[in-house]
Amino acid sequence: MGRLMRMNAAARSGLVGILTVLACGLAGSGWADEKSAPAPVSEPEPVSKSDAKVEELEEKVDVLAEEMGRLKAIFAVPEDLELTSFSGLGPAASKVYKRASGLSIGGYGEVRLRGHVNKGDNDSDDIFDALRAVLYVGYKFNENWVVNSEIEFEHGGTGGDGSVSTEFLTIDYLYRDEVNARVGLLLIPMGFVNEIHEPTFFYGAERPEVERVILPSTWRENGAGIFGTISERIYYRAYAVNGFKGEDFTSSGLRGGRQKGSKAIANDFAFVMRVDVDVADGLLLGGSFYTGQTGQEQSVVSANAGGVEVDLPDARLNLYEVHAQYKGYGLSLRALWTQAFLNEAGKLSRDTDQNLNAAIASRMKGFYVEAAYDVLPLILPETKASLEPYFRFEKYDTQDRVQDAALGYTPDQSKDIDLYVAGLQFKPIPQVVFKVDYRRFNPNKGRGDDQIQGLVGYVF
């Protein structure tokens, strides 16, 4: 029995040896079936340094792409924002209010050629002028806080008559539709073009004279106030601003008295308010009122007073205007009436040594009516361009009433002017405009040069 067990053990040992040799031989000779061979258990291959670097770069690219998208949302100027007015500002100046947040850039420009049809002994030069290049820069910090500005380069630079000016610079707090706050260098909300003076949004190669000499566009002063919209049809703005500097008024109007935010004397403040109502689709009615003293507690050396220093009178100015506008079916209509009343104008004229026939008026007045019609859709119904003949009649008098006739002050009748403007305006696209017009000046006394004008303008 023991012998048998020893033999079986020997047989088993020999059999294992034979099978081992046979398996090695088959493997070495390639006869083994690979599919039948058991899969070896392998450990995970280590990640190479190059693979790790690629993964790291991919992560950085993802982060960079996300950051670029964020910066684009903040700083990119959207091209699809509709150019419409906000709170009375020009449409291009209003772009920042339509953004969720971030930077907004806009602007406009005008280049004008003006020729004179000389009358009498006048020999006025024709002038080709890079009239304006304007940049709007605004930033919306969040849904409440907005800073907005207009920087204007006039007449091609700072040499000669050229200049660089801040037309407005404001900080707004947007609370709700009905009431918001504004502070800074403000555009005075009177008339049509003082706030909206981009060339594609008014007719003529020159702004209406009534809105230059009586409503002295562009008119801006430092101040603060509120603005808003009531019931989606009533728009208002109400500001307290520094007053005019009355010693710089002339027989030609109020323009010289503007302080323009430049170290403005603020001993006398003024109040201005405007209200507009959308009466019906396309029809707007409104008006504005300004009141304030103009003396600014200043004194001058007056020859009329014997060469001694005298205090200027307070000389309160009350100025108002009413206006109406209709736009629809290719037709554009505008009308505006304005009057200015200056008390103590006679004393102001004496103290500032005005000429007897060029006094500062106690009353100034003016109005204009304007019509335009887009004829291009009658020819090309599908066109996006426009071709508009326009006509404007203006009548204004910056010497309508003069005080102290007993001292020899008399109105200058050459300042009582009828002005006829006829022209043509072409917009190949809404942002670019070409204008040509003829201006005929007809003063009550004397003769004025007529003018032929051509202008190209843009807005973005």
- Summarize pLDDT for 155-190 with one digit per residue, the tens: 998 877 899 999 999 999 999 999 999 999 999 999
- With a pLDDT cut of 70, the percent of the chain lying above it is 85
CA distance 117 to 127: 12
**455 half-sphere exposure, CB direction, 13 A CA radius:** 29
What does the block give as tokens for 296? Answer: 């600014």
Grade residue 40 by pLDDT with cuts at 50, 70 and 90.
Answer: low
> What structural domains does the chain harbor?
104-459 (2.40.160.10)
CA distance 91 to 78: 14
Give every CB contact of residue 321 below 8 A, 6+ residues apart in sequence.
190, 191, 215, 287, 288, 336, 337, 338, 339
Give every CB contact of residue 45 below 8 A, 6+ residues apart in sequence.
none
Grade residue 407 by pLDDT with cuts at 50, 70 and 90.
Answer: confident
21-33 pLDDT per residue, tens = 333 332 343 433 4
As to burial, measured by CB atoms within 10 angstroms (0-12 exposed, 13-18 middle, 19+ buried), residue 408 is exposed
Residue at token pair 């728009």: 235
- With a pLDDT cut of 90, the percent of the chain lying above it is 74
Beta bridge partners of 395: 367, 418
Q: Residue range 213-237: average pLDDT?
A: 97
Cis peptide before 20 (omega within 30 of 0): no
Per-residue pLDDT at 398 exceeds 90: yes
99-113 pLDDT per residue, tens = 999 999 999 999 999
CA distance 232 to 350: 49
Q: Taken in order 292, 293, 298, 301, is the CA torsion positive or negative?
A: positive
Grade residue 5 by pLDDT with cuts at 50, 70 and 90.
Answer: very low
What does the block give as tokens for 345? Answer: 């104008």
- Residue 46 is predicted with a pLDDT of 55
Beta bridge partners of 270: 241, 292
* Cα 200-201-204 angle, rounded to 5 deg: 75
Per-residue pLDDT at 72 exceeds 80: no
CA distance 348 to 360: 7
Say if CB 286 and CB 320 are below 8 A apart. no
- Residue 57 is predicted with a pLDDT of 78
What is the Cα 96 distance to its own chain's centre? Answer: 9
- Residue 83 is predicted with a pLDDT of 86
Q: pTM surpassing 0.95?
A: no
- The DSSP call for residue 312 is P
